[in-house]
Structure 1
């Protein structure tokens, strides 16, 4: 009897050791799996959104440069980051937005949005006091066709009087802001001397410019982001709580005619381009949108309402009026 007890005791100890050796790796695996499923913090979410914003900006710049290959490459990168392309009809169905109708009851506005923009979505979460809130972003960017989010133009102006090269403006680009504060407003100013510095042997600061003609080509691409929080009362519904807009502007300047008093006109065409992206403060902020979600209303961080371009002697070249749409279907 004692031998049997001893035998069972030994078997029990061995089994316990074997089980312990089996359980420990399993526990370690569970621990590893738990770490891998660790929730993403607000800071990590913000970093991901910032990376997407950078790609959206680069896509607009590539669009202005008519680099379709680069645009496609960037769209592939966006897709890898969880950004999904959708139609305006899908966006309206998803957000529950009621589109505006024309006098005949047709949704012409939606057709315009569909032909003028590319719509993409990105889902994330926002944590507040240990509670998770679902967030959806709808991005609207121009698709290359002239329309509400993509505007182009050109103009040519000549001088009407003679001035020193350092005193005569060749290009000036300024912006007017609406609601919100612009981080870096457009403030590009270039004189004839600054523009033509590459021909310093022909032109000095005090050279009197007697004849000059400037040709200007410009484009503006507007990016809009609409931030939604899932409705706390209606299942599957989304509430618009953040509205953001920024613009990338490019102006190309060509001077086919330049003559300095006492000298012959230059024999070559001078060319330069000026580029700037204007971003409002708190652009695409989840926190600001969440504050509006908690307090009511919609946070609006609109950058600029228009861009003014003047040329030789400050003569008007063009004014770019930006859309700043209130919603996806409002484009």
Structure 2
């Protein structure tokens, strides 16, 4: 494990936190399937294991972190309620977890969030507050609502409880298939990437962990290489879950400490991989959900004769708007 700037301060999440989250989530989060593809193995000359979080509750890995965070609130915090901001998947996850735990919830969502994600979030019982992402800071709006209504903010990725919960996806994968040579994980705000890297480096120490972003939203890759937090403003990518402005105060040092490299993929690679997984693997995956697979299948990341884990992060696609992907 390499030393770097992250070593100057204690890291905010440990493997013990991930293990505790896994125990907490038993009976609440699904143990998602691991799929393989002869076609992919032949194409990559490797043995590839797809951890399919598109089959998780609410259709993405986000339920893991959301439920783990809400379960640790005090009884007073639960009664008063929570608020979060999300383009969709975290909002849905918080809404369902809050419904299961009888916690009032408000979700701040951009007006251009996929309608299927808005409808699902509302369907789980959340109150939705819409905003124009080109005019309003979601963090500032959320903080204002939290102060006025005495709500607890549950961030989508920059929260130790959320990060630990997300790490259970990689924990499950390695527990099922054994040690890996390489683990590919999509990256938006870095919650899934940092949590998964913690689990991978502990359970499979020789495993190389690579985070994957869209080329048009490459703030984490730039941050990783410069060791200075970089930002991106409302990037134009079909991977809406990766439109986060930057890594977080917690996820940045974790990424620096545990992640071996970052890669970026083109919009065309995202589309091609998404259609491949729909048509050949028969699973519905959203654009953000295929980022890790796109890096492998497009050749951006080479993995000859290796055991490769790929986390498929989500499958919430609005099929009524599928023509926008063409």
- State TM-score, norm by structure 1: 0.22
Question: Which of the two has greater helix per residue?
Answer: 2
Q: Which has the larger radius of gyration?
A: 1
- Tell which has more relative contact order, 1 or 2 (C-alpha 8 A, sep 6+): 2
